[in-house]
Amino acid sequence: MIEYHDSELDTQKRPIRNIVATIPGTIHPEKKIVLTAHYDSVIPPGAEDNGSGVAVLLEIARILKEERIPLEYTVEIVFFDYEEKDLNGSQAYVRHALINKDEIIGVINFDMVGWDGGDGKLELITAKISASFLEEGVLFVSKIAGREDFVYPIIEDIENLVGHGDYSSFLGWGIDLENKEGLDMSRGYYYVINVTAAQKLEKGYPYYHTVEDTIEKLNIDFLRQVTQWAAEVVYGLANSSDF
Ligand SMILES: [Zn+2]
């Protein structure tokens, strides 16, 4: 099932369209694993930022549907609008999810995953508050899949993450993105991991936010490995009775 979630944030009055594809779980349909990627870009073509993340999610959606992979939990695949404008798309999604009391087991966000800077490593970034989802969920499943050497976990203080991507919207809706104050977790947060290839390990993608961000710059073999890893993680998480 594919739906458009149209909304606008009270403060901005900007129309926002998130695109949501849902594959219902067979045993616990009310609980969901959420995969996300923003589909807007600062300037076209935005191959790495964030055509790469969108490509991974489209391929996972295709695999789950065509192969009829059994899933105990619901898998929701969300394409966010307006990441590049104050994270408006993900802010709208999280606000709605909190009001709705959505049972989200965990969120995996894909942002810039097709350029690895030559080291072949995928970075998994989260905050301390969300570390158990990384360690007992995603890393555990990666190990079972024999892919623990492919990923590099990074656990940060939440103050260092706020405002740096859609994943940070899940660490607490309504956080002041400018001065990073008001980290009021009583408003709710979700377990979330940011998957990226070139943000923290001192690899800067040289074509970031330029017209030079074209598809030839991407390492397609690496992008394929990211997609295979992600498919294994989604399968493992969506069929784990631990949650
Ligand atoms: Zn991005």
Instruction: Give 26's DSSP letter.
Output: S
Q: Which residue has the tokens 């397609």?
A: 220
The first and second tokens of residue 145, run together, are 């899949």
Residue 141 lies in a domain: yes
Q: What pTM did the predictor assign?
A: 0.93
Task: Output the CA 41–ligand 1 centroid distance in Å.
Answer: 7
Residue 192 lies in a domain: yes
Where residue 63 sits, what CATH number does that domain have? 3.40.630.10
Q: How many structural domains compose the chain?
A: 1
Per-residue pLDDT for the chain (243 aa), expressed as one digit of tens each? Answer: 999 998 876 566 778 899 999 999 999 999 999 999 999 999 999 999 999 999 999 999 999 999 888 999 999 999 999 998 888 899 889 988 988 889 999 999 999 999 999 999 999 999 998 999 999 999 999 999 999 999 999 999 888 888 889 999 998 765 555 555 555 555 678 999 999 997 766 678 999 999 999 999 999 999 999 999 999 999 999 998 766
Residue 44 lies in a domain: yes
Taking the C-alpha atoms of residue 135 and residue 175, their distance in angstroms, rounded to an integer, is 25
Task: Output the CA 50–ligand 1 centroid distance in Å.
Answer: 5
Task: Output the CA 135–ligand 1 centroid distance in Å.
Answer: 24
Task: Output the CA 113–ligand 1 centroid distance in Å.
Answer: 10
Task: Output the CA 56–ligand 1 centroid distance in Å.
Answer: 14
Residue 233: what residue type?
A: V
Residue 169 lies in a domain: yes
What does residue 204 show for φ and ψ, rounded to 5 degrees?
-100, 125
Residue 170 lies in a domain: yes
Q: Which residue has the tokens 């966010």?
A: 80
Task: Output the CA 55–ligand 1 centroid distance in Å.
Answer: 13
Residues spanned by the domain of 14: 2-237
The answer to whether 82 and 40 have CB atoms below 8 angstroms apart is yes
Model pLDDT for residues 38-59, shown as the tens digit of each residue: 999 999 999 999 999 999 999 9
Residue 242 lies in a domain: no
Task: Output the CA 168–ligand 1 centroid distance in Å.
Answer: 12
Residue 243 lies in a domain: no
70-to-29, 133, 181 alpha-carbon distances in Å: 12, 22, 43
Model pLDDT for residues 84-108, shown as the tens digit of each residue: 888 889 988 998 898 888 999 999 9
Q: How far is CA 121 from the centre of its chain?
A: 17
Residue 82 lies in a domain: yes
Task: Output the CA 207–ligand 1 centroid distance in Å.
Answer: 12
Task: Output the CA 68–ligand 1 centroid distance in Å.
Answer: 30
